[in-house]
């Protein structure tokens, strides 16, 4: 693998931002996929919220490249990053862009289709414990697979994952190569939330409404042992926190300590959901999306099922989310930043009292943004999901490079 050096794209980035300013203001103009079914939002600003003013021009600096379909990243205390590659590798990338060799000791993954090695999360006390969590598509035999969660400790030299233990297995396994979900969020109380896909096909997607399955669910488990710590829903598996999800591709704790997730809809209908324990979010019975064959997918509303806080139609194919809490972008403080795969950009949402009040789009054409994180110095770090995937540092124009 090529060992890239840091490449400055300051001039190119400034040009790209200026050139993209016009198309950035057109994201609410495309016809929605659901228009044929007279779909309408349930409340004001549930979709196509007013366009925010960008307020800042952005500089892109490629920190590293040559990554094969990177999927998740998290920063280590020394400023370097743990990055996963979907084929099954985890690497350390230094702040200067040096890409390390694959870390040994990880379990086998099923990397067909959308499967492979997915999210990664570093313990807050990593400097003392060196503990790491990750999600992956686990092969279960006979072509079946499902999402699993493992934890381990990274060796002092950063070359090997030690004391590896699988602490969660999604059930049932299914012969599918799609919709693994797989984002990890810590609750600050010794548990992790895991967002799980419903495996896409018409038969397994029905399990999203089955309280005795973990397809299409968010689960909460003990971060060390995997013991169930769900919402205590009567008749449900003890790890289930919420249900009725399609394919969770983004998840993060908001500024007020509330869990937010974003998930893919079918053709249209990507959703942003504020998660409450024990709540049913509707899939596949309720959706603002259209099935891929052009038919209507479910209904817009149903009693007992929660509406999304926000939905997109057409779908940008969201992936990865963070809430900004740094110093480089003071006007963005507390706002949600969400990657987009299909539309190849960064989405910014202003959220007030649990409702979206405005949306903006940035970095049009940057690539398939798979994940986004806030770096220790307040810059943004993106990874792009390509054969030759990149880590890209985003700063305000004129801020300089670290």
Task: Tell me how far apart the alpha carbons of residues 254 and 252 are, in angstroms, rounded to a whole number.
Answer: 6
pTM metric for this prediction: 0.93
Contact between 149 and 112 (Cβ < 8 Å):
no
pLDDT per position as a tens digit, 49-73 = 999 987 799 999 999 999 999 999 9
pLDDT per position as a tens digit, 218-242 = 999 999 999 999 999 999 999 999 9
Q: Which of 69, 118, 179, 191 is catalytic?
A: 179
- Report H helices in 101-213: 126-129, 202-205
Average pLDDT, stretch 148-157?
Answer: 98
Q: How many CB atoms lie within 10 A of CB 40?
A: 11
Task: Tell me how far apart the alpha carbons of residues 198 and 221 are, in angstroms, rounded to a whole number.
Answer: 19
Task: Tell me how far apart the alpha carbons of residues 302 and 189 are, in angstroms, rounded to a whole number.
Answer: 33
Q: Catalytic: 191?
A: no
148 forms beta bridges with: 136, 169
In this predicted structure, what is the pLDDT of residue 294?
82
Mean pLDDT score across all residues of the chain: 92
Across 51-60, 113-122, 254-263, 387-396, least confident range: 51-60
List the one residue out of 39, 11, 110, 27 whose CA is nearest residue 288: 39
């Amino acid at each position: 693998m090529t060992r890239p050096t840091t490449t400055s794209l300051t001039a190119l980035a400034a040009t790209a931002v200026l050139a993209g300013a016009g198309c950035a203001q057109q994201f609410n103009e495309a016809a929605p996929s659901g228009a044929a079914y007279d779909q309408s939002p349930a409340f004001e600003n549930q979709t196509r919220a007013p366009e925010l003013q960008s307020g800042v021009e952005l500089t892109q600096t490629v920190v590293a490249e040559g990554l094969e379909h990177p999927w998740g990243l998290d920063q280590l205390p020394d400023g370097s990053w743990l990055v996963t590659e979907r084929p099954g590798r985890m690497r350390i990338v230094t702040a200067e862009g040096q890409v390390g060799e694959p870390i040994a000791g990880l379990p086998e993954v099923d990397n067909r289709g959308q499967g492979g090695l997915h999210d990664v999360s570093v313990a807050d006390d990593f400097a003392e414990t060196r503990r790491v969590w990750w999600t992956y598509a686990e092969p279960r035999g006979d072509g079946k697979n499902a999402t699993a969660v493992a934890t381990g400790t990274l060796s002092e030299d950063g070359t090997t994952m030690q004391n590896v233990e699988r602490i969660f297995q999604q059930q049932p396994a299914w012969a599918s190569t799609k919709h693994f979900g797989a984002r990890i969020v810590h609750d600050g109380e010794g548990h992790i939330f895991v967002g799980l896909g419903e495996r896409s096909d018409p038969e397994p997607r029905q399990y999203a409404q089955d309280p005795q399955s973990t397809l299409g669910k968010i689960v909460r488990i003990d971060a060390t042992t995997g013991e169930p710590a769900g919402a205590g829903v009567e008749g449900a598996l003890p790890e289930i926190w919420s249900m009725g999800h399609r394919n969770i591709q983004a998840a993060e704790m908001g500024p007020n300590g509330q869990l937010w997730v974003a998930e893919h809809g079918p053709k249209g209908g990507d959703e942003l959901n504020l998660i409450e324990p024990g709540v049913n979010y509707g899939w596949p019975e309720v959706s603002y999306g259209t099935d891929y064959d052009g038919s209507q997918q479910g209904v817009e509303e149903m009693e007992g099922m929660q509406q999304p806080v926000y939905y997109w139609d057409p779908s940008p194919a969201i992936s990865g989310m963070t809430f900004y809490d740094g110093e480089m972008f003071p006007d963005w403080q507390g706002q949600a930043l969400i990657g987009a795969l299909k539309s190849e950009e960064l989405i910014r949402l202003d959220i007030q009292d649990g409702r979206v009040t405005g949306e903006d789009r940035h970095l049009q054409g940057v690539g398939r943004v798979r994940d986004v994180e806030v770096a220790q110095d307040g810059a943004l770090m993106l990874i792009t999901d390509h054969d030759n995937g990149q880590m890209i540092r985003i700063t305000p124009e004129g801020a300089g490079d670290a």
